[in-house]
Amino acid sequence: MKQKKEKKKNKILDNREVLNLKDFMLLTTKEQTEKLTTILQKMYEDTLEVTPKHVEKALNLCYEINDKEIYLPYSLRVAKDGAKVIFDFVERKNMGLFLLFLLTFLFAGIAATYSGVQYINSTKLNIDLDGDGVADLNIDVDGDGFCDINCDTNHDKKPDTNIDYNGNRESTFNRLQDDGSLKNPMNQDIDKDGKCDINCDVDKDGWPDTNVDLDGDGKPDMNVDVDGDGTPDLNIDNNGDGKCDVNCDNNGDHKCDYNCVSRDTENKRELNVDIDKDGKCDVNCDTDGDGIPDTNLDHEGNKKPTYNVEDENGNLHNRTNQDTNRDGKCDLNCDTDRDGWPDTNLDLDGNGTPDLNVDTNGDGYPDLNLDTNGDGVPDLNIDTDNDNKCDVNCIYTPNEDDQDLNIDKDGDGKCDVN
């Protein structure tokens, strides 16, 4: 049975596919995913089950400007060549020859330990931790029998040196130097207060989760935890491409400048809107002339009374800044930036339960059901069963192991990736 499987592997080594990037970019996200899935299935035939993670890695390469190639199981190389993406298999080096000259390479291995790579028993190389068919630990990128990326030196199934970022197979953290020192270390305590400040591994899996320093300059670039609660607040990277997607701070002042899911920045909307042209205010009515709406506030400019809705008797329904448990803190429709419109724990239907931008830890930033485009529908960290835990499009979930799961790329409410 093993021989039959090996014959199938050898048979697919001549397979080759070419993708036209220009045509590919004109497709919808769903069509792109289907296209890549079909190509990978053709390449592997029936020797390997193509998983969503395989497709995601190929998709990220198509959009990433700096990355030129990635490797998938059985040494399938996916490489960009101008306006084309080429899929082909690269033969590994002859391991018999490696064993024949083992004594010679032993001395080279000792030296290599101090030049950024490490020799590890070949049976311990390219370990797949999550069973998706892609190596996660002790990755031998060039097939020379030495660990290049995510090297586990103490056999605890966690990377210790040359750690990559979100599977990009580039040494980014704990980079081993010629003198044996580590550059851009993990879990740096800069101010010596006993708490991590840079490259913080919150879930203890060996890879950084918050205050991620991608360029090694000693400053966090991605998933910045402003308040030290273990949850990223600014420059949130939800797809692992090293670029900000949510709550982006582009000037380093620790305040969100764009794609702000919490309204901690100035976001004034239209006041005193007369919908029916009768000369009276219908939406966002400023009754005291202070420039802040008091009654019939809309949601994200939709010009539909949603908060502080006034009835015919002058009573207000679905009020802003509700303290439902009388503890002196806002629990529902909380206006964190004091511009009149609520930012967190938004109750869209007035039933007394928050629907969007739910702040679970009271730090002023939403944690669940994040609405990034203001359409009234959650986009990230979606809690589908109301158990206060993320179920879909999980960019980061405190105290849980799973991150970047159940990604809905086309907005149809169904999982497309992971």
pLDDT recorded at residue 119: 52
Which residue bears the tokens 């291995």?
109
Q: How many CB atoms lie within 10 A of CB 179?
A: 6
pLDDT category at 313 given cuts 50, 70, 90 is very high
Q: Residues 6 or more apart from 98 whose CB is under 8 A from it?
A: 105, 122, 144, 145
Residue with tokens 């591994």: 201
Residue type, 87: F
Domains of the chain, by residue range, sit at 2-89
- Across the range 10-28, mean pLDDT stands at 85
> Which residue type does 355 have?
D
How many percent of the chain have pLDDT more than 70? 80
Interval 154-178 mean pLDDT: 92
Report percent pLDDT > 90 for the chain. Answer: 36
CA atoms of 296 and 287, how far apart (whole Å): 11
How would CATH label the architecture of 2-89? 2-Layer Sandwich (3.30)
pTM (predicted TM-score): 0.47
SS3 127: strand
Of residues 7 and 52, more confidently modeled: 52
231-235, 287-291, 317-321: which range is least confident on average?
A: 231-235
CA-CA distance, 332 to 317, in Å (whole number)? 12
> Which positions ≥6 away from 75 have C-beta within 8 Å?
89, 90, 91, 92, 143
Retrieve residue 383's tokens.
Answer: 């809690």
**Would the pLDDT of 200 be above 80?**
yes
pLDDT in tens, 335-394: 887 889 998 999 999 999 999 999 888 877 788 998 877 788 888 889 998 888 888 887
Query: For 64-103, how does the pLDDT look when each residue is reduced to its tens digit (9 = 90+)?
Result: 766 788 888 878 889 998 889 999 987 544 444 444 444 4
Q: In whole angstroms, how large is the CA radius of gyration of the chain?
A: 26
Confidence at 9, pLDDT banded by 50, 70, 90: low
Contact (Cβ atoms closer than 8 angstroms) between residue 9 and residue 2? no
Per-residue pLDDT tens digits for 253-284: 888 776 666 543 334 468 899 988 888 999 99
pLDDT value of position 360:
87
Contact 43, 77 (CB under 8 A): no
Cα-based torsion angle of the residue sequence 232, 52, 86, 84 in order, rounded to the nearest 10 degrees: -60
> Which neighbouring-strand residues pair with 146?
119
Instruction: Read off the pLDDT of each residue in 218-222 and give the average, rounded to a whole number.
Output: 94
pLDDT score recorded for residue 244: 86
Give the pLDDT of residue 58. 87
Please tell me the distance from the alpha carbon of residue 414 to that of residue 329, in angstroms, as a whole number: 36
* Residue owning tokens 């029916």: 276
Q: How far apart are CA 246 and CA 233, in angstroms?
A: 9
CA nearest neighbour of 80 among 91, 70, 95, 72: 70
Given a cut of 50, whether residue 302 has pLDDT beyond it is yes
| Separation of alpha carbons 240 and 395, rounded Å | 9
